[in-house]
């Protein structure tokens, strides 16, 4: 289709008035000031997303240091056979180690999402929500010991 033909179609649709093209309901001319008409006043910056990602990454480093210290504290326990206290302590250690490793992995995944949002603006709000939902599904917390209180 020729450009002139396209202009004729647009002019016909607007009853002779100039018709401006609008994408995704964004005003044709949001003005030269702050784009609050388009964004509702919401602002975003790569630096903010990257800073948030770095903060989550530092949590992961702290968890790693803590796991190392926890493991060092376990050295020398030896066999837990015949000692209920040592067996219980090892069980608690294994449980917390697994939990802390999972939290560290979750922090790494969240850091990746935050960095990607800052770098690419992860397409849309729906894209960010989908990534966060996927993260929550992957690292869903377990129910509290003893179950959930029902109607209390």
Residues 131 and 112: beta-carbon distance below 8 Å: no
Please state, in angstroms and rounded to a whole number, the distance separating the CA atoms of residues 104 and 102. 5
Residue 49, C-beta contacts closer than 8 angstroms, at least 6 positions apart: 114, 115, 117, 118, 119
pLDDT band at 34; cut points 50, 70, 90? very low
Whether residue 118 lies inside any domain: the answer is yes
Domain count, the chain: 1
Whether residue 84 lies inside any domain: the answer is yes
Statement: the pTM of the whole predicted model exceeds 0.75: no
Phi, psi of 30 (to 5 degrees): -70, -5
Whether residue 31 lies inside any domain: the answer is no
Whether residue 127 lies inside any domain: the answer is yes
Whether residue 55 lies inside any domain: the answer is yes
DSSP strands (E only) in the chain: none
**pLDDT for the residue numbered 39:** 54
Please state, in angstroms and rounded to a whole number, the distance separating the CA atoms of residues 67 and 41. 43
Q: Render pLDDT for 103-139 as a digit per residue (tens, 0 to 9).
A: 999 999 999 988 888 777 656 678 888 888 998 888 8
Whether residue 35 lies inside any domain: the answer is no
Which structural domain range is residue 83 located in? Answer: 46-138
Q: Render pLDDT for 35-56 as a digit per residue (tens, 0 to 9).
A: 455 556 666 678 888 888 999 9
Q: Render pLDDT for 67-89 as a digit per residue (tens, 0 to 9).
A: 998 888 887 777 777 788 888 88
Whether residue 39 lies inside any domain: the answer is no
């Amino acid at each position: 289709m020729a450009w002139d033909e396209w202009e004729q179609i647009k002019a016909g649709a607007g009853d002779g008035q100039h018709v401006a093209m609008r994408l995704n309901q964004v005003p044709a001319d949001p003005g030269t000031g702050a784009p609050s008409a388009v964004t509702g006043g919401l602002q975003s910056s790569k630096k903010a997303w990257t800073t948030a990602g770095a903060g989550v990454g530092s949590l992961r480093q702290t968890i790693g240091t803590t796991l190392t210290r926890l493991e060092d504290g376990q050295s020398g326990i030896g066999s837990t056979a015949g000692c209920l206290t040592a067996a219980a302590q090892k069980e608690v250690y294994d449980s917390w180690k697994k939990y802390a490793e999972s939290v560290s992995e979750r922090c790494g995944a969240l850091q990746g999402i935050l960095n990607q949002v800052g770098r690419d603006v992860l397409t849309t709000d729906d894209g960010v929500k989908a990534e966060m939902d996927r993260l929550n599904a992957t690292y869903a917390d377990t129910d509290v010991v003893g179950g959930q209180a029902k109607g209390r």
